[in-house]
């Protein structure tokens, strides 16, 4: 169960999760451009957008998407932070 926290604690946690996901995405695809934002849409806390190079293979992009999705679910379950991560080509 996620404990209640102040808005500043939650903002700090969201920032930490965005950083964690961004670094993870960079590990998965070092050549990618990564954007992390705290823009909110409905109940989301933030977004991570990954732009792999045009030379990235379709299977590699699918693998990156799957691994990021798994980590986003882990963060949601463990910390109660809802971050959407998407790979754009």
**DSSP H stretches of helix in the chain:** 7-28, 58-79
pTM of the model: 0.89
* Residue 44 parent element (H or E): none
**Which class does domain 7-87 fall in?**
alpha beta
How many angstroms separate the CA atoms of 33 and 49, rounded?
Answer: 8
46-51 and 33-37 beta bridge pairing: antiparallel
Over its length of 89 residues, how does the chain's per-residue pLDDT go in tens digits? 556 788 899 999 999 999 999 999 999 999 999 999 998 888 999 999 999 999 999 999 999 999 999 999 999 999 999 999 999 97
Sorted by where each begins, the domain ranges of the chain are 7-87
83-87 and 46-51 beta bridge pairing: parallel
How many angstroms separate the CA atoms of 89 and 55, rounded?
Answer: 10
User: Which two structure tokens, joined as six digits, stand for 44?
Assistant: 């989301």
């Amino acid at each position: 169960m996620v404990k209640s926290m102040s808005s500043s604690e939650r903002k700090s946690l969201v920032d930490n999760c965005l950083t964690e996901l961004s670094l993870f995405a960079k590990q998965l695809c070092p050549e990618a451009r990564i954007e992390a934002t705290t823009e909110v849409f409905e109940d989301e806390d933030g977004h991570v957008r990954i732009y792999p190079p045009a030379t990235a293979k379709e299977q590699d992009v699918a693998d990156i998407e799957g691994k990021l999705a798994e980590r986003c679910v882990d963060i949601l379950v463990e910390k109660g932070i809802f971050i959407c991560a998407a790979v754009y080509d």
